Amino acid sequence: MTETNSSNGVQPESFAWDAESEAAIGRVVAKYPPGKQASGVIPLLYIVQNQMGRQTGSAWIPRAAMDAVAHRLGMAPIRVYEVATFYLMFNTKPIGKWHLQVCTTTPCWLRGSDAVVEACKAATGIGAFGETSEDGLFTMTEVECLGACVNAPVLQVNDDFYEDLDADSTRQLLDALRRDAPPRPGSVTGRQTSAPAGGPTTLTTLQNLGPPPPDAVQPPRER
Amino acid sequence: MAKVTVDGIVVEVPNGSTVLQACELAGKEIPRFCYHERLSIAGNCRMCLVEIEKAPKPVASCAFPVADNMVVKTDTPMVRNGRRGVMEFLLINHPLDCPICDQGGECDLQDQALGYGMDHTRYEENKRAVKDKNLGPLVKTVMTRCIHCTRCIRFVTEIAGVPDLGATSRGESLEVGTYVEKALGSELSGNIIDLCPVGALTSKPYAFVARPWELKKTDSVDVLDAVGTNIRIDSRGPEVLRILPRLNEEVNEEWLADKARFSMDGLKRRRLDRPWVRRDGKLVQATWGDAFTVIAERLQGVAGERIGALAGDLCDAESMVALKDLLTALGSANLDCRQDGVLLQAGRRDFYTFNSTIAAIEEADALLLIGTNPRREAPVINARIRKRWLASKMLIGLIGETAELTYDFQHVGGDAGAFDGLRDASAGFGKTLADANKPMVIVGQPALRQPGVLAAVWELAGAIGALAGEWHGFNVLHTAAARVGALDLGFVPGQGGRDLAGMLNGGVDVLWLLGADEFDTARIGRNTFVIYQGHHGDRGAARADVILPGSAYTEKSGTYVNTEGRVQRGLRAVYPPGEAREDWTIIRALSEVLGKTLPYDDLPGVRARLEQVNPVFGRTNFLPRFGVSDRSGPGQGSGRASGPFGVAIENYYQTDPISRASPTMAACTETFATTPLLQAAE
Ligand code: SF4
Ligand code: FES
Ligand code: FES
């Protein structure tokens, strides 16, 4: 898992911020008092990752970009390398367009994460965790508890959670991703957040709101 | 103050001290891996566990502050079991390769395992393996042995000021290294070898050379810069195998610069191990007797004022006083030690020494560097400046060529023209200096080559209040270990004598070079007869007509005066090679052949003579602090300062015959000459 000295031929020579990133950096840096800008290192690494996702379809952080972050925040580059390699949310190697992060921790495992893993492998041709499919669309990694155990098993795709999965729904999800039409995140069985699967067991007299209409738009996310 | 009871012993420690410090005060030894008193506290190895009354769990004493009436126990079943557990965890992934590990015999982990380790392991899983890092020609890594104490990371970040090392990844994949492969761009990098508690970082040139218990340890003083770093020379038989720092809070704390640590392989190469005499234009081997006869014959009938002597940068005071006495006996006053042409005079000592003292850098509140790059000229002093800068954000100004020092500074100007601006106490750096309570000025050798600079800097120091009765803020930073001693002995032209320039180009008929290699020997007159006395076949020996093989600093008991004016003595660790002899004895022997027998024939005799010439030689190691008693400055001299000062040292790794002969230093030159020294960030 360690990417020390990752001169694996894919590292771009340089990295330049685009306008969107510049605007985001401005907002982040302004949050910290002068001289404490280094605190913004994690948000800035996310900004890099998002920009790479926008520009190349692969949301990862090249070395040159870590140096750019260091330069921007006035820190020694090694301090940025330390942070970027510490958090698994930062990809220090190129990844597929859709980053499949399968939770295999005990609750998810008990609820059938093995089937999710198998479905992912079958649908993408990926052989093992950490690999990227040949078409470059998918990378599958194994993650620890995502904190959504009530809706286990959980699969995180890029920044979104898909919950209550089984082999079938995983396959459908991947098909949709392949068509570039990610479905609405959340439970795939249609239950509202983590409310009881068979409908409410308390406050039953209140109107059951039911699942949101299928055309509901994804709320824009901001970091 | 807090009252703390450690194993029944009551000690008083300042508030804010750690439990570990209290335990040490009580004489209890606490095992530790990550804690180091000169580094920030990391608290990550957990080896220093102790029991504190009313605390439910064992406590890491290095990171726990004392409280009044605390009761600490350092040797209870809880403590012992805790430490055993920590040790067991540390050893899960630590390889069992002590037999092939260079740290063996001086390894903290090995030592502590004796007390807290088990005789077997309960883990059958494979140990993790970590790829070794290439940190350049000096530090060898076996990273599988690393226990992640982070001492090395903290050292390069905090003390060396070159934050290249870090811990990347996490958990079982955590690795200490540079992430991007690069050599450590610090002149103090060797110190991480001493700091590493295990064998993860060891000396590359010393790899697989010896075991610590085979070595003879000799206390000495480093001569490759003018700091006078206290060293320990480890030797076996006739060979110096490694050089380590000795603790001296006043001088080097416990650090040692890389050149001093790693140049010793130069002591075995290009050595002059027998006398040589030039016959028909070619140097041929000779006996001592031959060499002396040739010299005696050549000196026949030569008038005193046609003989001259130059002292080099690595000379001990004993040989210089002997040579001076001999020249005086021969009727010559042509002496010089200032090979680089600096305009320093013998005489009043505070005109040529680092008067504040090195330790007092930690009291200064503003610093002006003039024509000096302390990072290259004296890395250990540079570390003190950085220490002070970190602790107090001391403001630093620089006049001269800018460089990557390891602290922020304001570039005030490039030449002597900038002095006047600093007299303005109302704005800019002049105001900083004027406002400071203990302003400090450090002037380097390149600046002192220009006429009038010494006087101008002294005057400036006076104007900014650096010359006070209690605080002497005027400092000369030397680069040559022998220089202050030579000036103390008056190894400069006497009445009517010629200086270096005057002796060159045929100014004298016979020129004695005592280890003098740092000037352009092509400027020696074609018919001048050159006697070279020294230890390396360098520039001086190449031009010589007679070569007298002397001893390097590891091979003689010598007295050296560092840039502060601190008189220190080194002891002989090994014997000089072949026919070579201790330098002062050579001069003494020749004096007899010349019929000018010097009046001393043993070491105490020479040292008594030293003291007679200058009483400062009677006081070794200790250097009293003093203020300014006489504020009148040195003479202006003739000529005017103009143009940039230039730099004293272009290539840190090769500055003298020893480091020029060292393959390790050559490798460093190759590595670092192309990569510019990394910027220091904090
Ligand atoms: S290399 Fe040595 S000093 Fe550095 S973290 Fe590892 S054990 Fe500690
Ligand atoms: S175990 Fe999978 S989300 Fe908690
Ligand atoms: S010495 Fe206290 S935790 Fe390492």
Asked if A4 and B177 come within 8 Å (Cβ–Cβ), the reply is yes
Asked if B164 and A4 come within 8 Å (Cβ–Cβ), the reply is no
The DSSP symbol for A77 reads H
Asked if A74 and B166 come within 8 Å (Cβ–Cβ), the reply is no
Asked if A2 and B165 come within 8 Å (Cβ–Cβ), the reply is no
CATH code of the domain containing A49: 1.10.10
Residues of chain B with pLDDT under 50: 675-682
Looking at chain A, the whole-number percentage of residues with pLDDT higher than 90 is 80
If we measure between CA atoms, which residue out of B552, B486, B487 comes closest to residue B515? B552
Looking at all shown ligands, the one closest to residue B192's CA atom is 1
Q: Is the pTM of this model over 0.90?
A: yes
pLDDT on residue A201: 82
pLDDT on residue A223: 45
Asked if A82 and B173 come within 8 Å (Cβ–Cβ), the reply is no
Residue A217: pLDDT above 80? Answer: no
Q: Per-residue b/e over B64-86, b at no fewer than 16 CB within 10 Å?
A: bebeeebebbbeeeebbebbeeb
Res. A192 pLDDT band, cuts 50 70 90:
confident
Coil, helix or strand for B156? Answer: helix
Q: Is the CB of A103 under 6 A from ligand 2?
A: yes
- For ligand 3, pick from B21, B23, B32, B36 the residue to mutate: most ligand atoms within 8 Å of CB: B32
- The whole-angstrom separation of Cα A31 and Cα B459 is 48
- The whole-angstrom separation of Cα A49 and Cα A12 is 14
Q: Is the CB of A108 under 6 A from ligand 2?
A: yes
- The whole-angstrom separation of Cα B585 and Cα B591 is 10
Q: Hey, is the C-beta of B681 within 8 angstroms of any chain A C-beta?
A: yes
A24/A78 same-domain check: yes
pLDDT on residue B682: 32
CA nearest B171 in A: which residue? A86
Cβ-nearest to B169 among A1, A7, A79? A1
Tokens 């010559």 sit on residue:
B332
Q: Hey, is the C-beta of B179 within 8 angstroms of any chain A C-beta?
A: yes
Q: Are B156 and B163 in contact (CB under 8 A)?
A: yes
Looking at all shown ligands, the one closest to residue B32's CA atom is 3
A156/A113 same-domain check: yes
Q: Are A166 and A116 in contact (CB under 8 A)?
A: yes
Q: Are B263 and B558 in contact (CB under 8 A)?
A: no
Looking at all shown ligands, the one closest to residue A153's CA atom is 2
Q: Hey, is the C-beta of A63 within 8 angstroms of any chain B C-beta?
A: yes
Q: Is residue A6 part of a domain?
A: no
Q: Is residue A194 part of a domain?
A: no
Tell me how far CA of residue B41 lies from CA of A62, B8, B34, B44, B49, in angstroms.
32, 27, 8, 9, 15
* Boundary of a domain, candidates A61, A86, A111: A86
A169/A129 same-domain check: yes
Chain B hits for A3, CB-CB cut-off 8 Å, are 169
CATH code of the domain containing A175: 3.40.30.10
- The whole-angstrom separation of Cα B183 and Cα B192 is 13
A65/A111 same-domain check: no
CA of B109 to the centre of ligand 3 (A): 13
If we measure between CA atoms, which residue out of A139, A174, A169, A126 comes closest to residue A151? A169
- The whole-angstrom separation of Cα B79 and Cα B147 is 21
Distance of CA B49 to the CA centre of its chain: 36
CA nearest A90 in B: which residue? B169
Q: Is residue A179 part of a domain?
A: yes
State the DSSP string of B353-380: SBTT-SGGGGG-SEEEEES--HHHH-HH
A81/A109 same-domain check: no
Q: Is residue A14 part of a domain?
A: no
Q: Is residue A38 part of a domain?
A: yes
Chain B hits for A76, CB-CB cut-off 8 Å, are 157, 163-164, 681
For the four alpha carbons of A33, A36, A38 and A40, in that order, the dihedral sign comes to negative
- The whole-angstrom separation of Cα B405 and Cα B396 is 11
- The whole-angstrom separation of Cα B410 and Cα B387 is 18
pLDDT on residue A197: 82
Hey, what are B106's tokens? 């001086």
Q: Show the DSSP H helices in B225-330 as ranges.
A: 258-262, 288-299, 317-329
Q: Are B450 and B642 in contact (CB under 8 A)?
A: yes
CA of B145 to the centre of ligand 1 (A): 8
Q: Is residue A139 part of a domain?
A: yes
pLDDT per position as a tens digit, B617-629: 999 999 988 899 9
- The whole-angstrom separation of Cα B231 and Cα B107 is 20
| Opening angle at CA B200, ends B197 and B203, nearest 5 | 95
pLDDT on residue A218: 53
pLDDT per position as a tens digit, B413-446: 999 999 999 998 898 999 999 999 999 999 999 9
Q: In A, residues 38-57, which contact B (CB 8 Å cutoff)?
A: none
Q: Is the CB of A107 under 6 A from ligand 2?
A: yes
Hey, what are B482's tokens? 């022998």
Q: Hey, is the C-beta of B156 within 8 angstroms of any chain A C-beta?
A: no
A103/A145 same-domain check: yes
Shortest distance between the Cα of B144 and any Cα of chain A, in A, equals 14
A123/A50 same-domain check: no
Sheet holding A160-163, edge to edge: A138-143, A98-103, A155-157, A160-163, A186-187
Coil, helix or strand for B474? Answer: strand
- The whole-angstrom separation of Cα B645 and Cα B373 is 11
Q: Show the DSSP H helices in B300-444 as ranges.
A: 317-329, 374-377, 379-392, 428-435
- CB under 8 Å to B405, separation ≥6 — which residues? B373, B374, B375, B382, B385, B386, B396, B398, B680
Q: Are B200 and B143 in contact (CB under 8 A)?
A: yes
Q: How many CB atoms lie within 10 A of CB B217?
A: 12
Q: Hey, is the C-beta of B175 within 8 angstroms of any chain A C-beta?
A: yes
Q: Are B116 and B87 in contact (CB under 8 A)?
A: yes
A80/A113 same-domain check: no
- For ligand 2, pick from A149, A150, A155, A160 the residue to mutate: most ligand atoms within 8 Å of CB: A149
- The whole-angstrom separation of Cα A125 and Cα B471 is 77
Q: Is residue A205 part of a domain?
A: no
Pairing of β B276-279 and β B49-52: unpaired
Shortest distance between the Cα of A148 and any Cα of chain B, in A, equals 24
Domain of A119 in residue numbering reads as: 98-187
Q: Is residue A201 part of a domain?
A: no
For chain A, how many structural domains are there in total? 2
Shortest distance between the Cα of B679 and any Cα of chain A, in A, equals 9
| Opening angle at CA A15, ends A12 and A21, nearest 5 | 140
pLDDT on residue B673: 73
Shortest distance between the Cα of B136 and any Cα of chain A, in A, equals 15
pLDDT on residue A219: 52
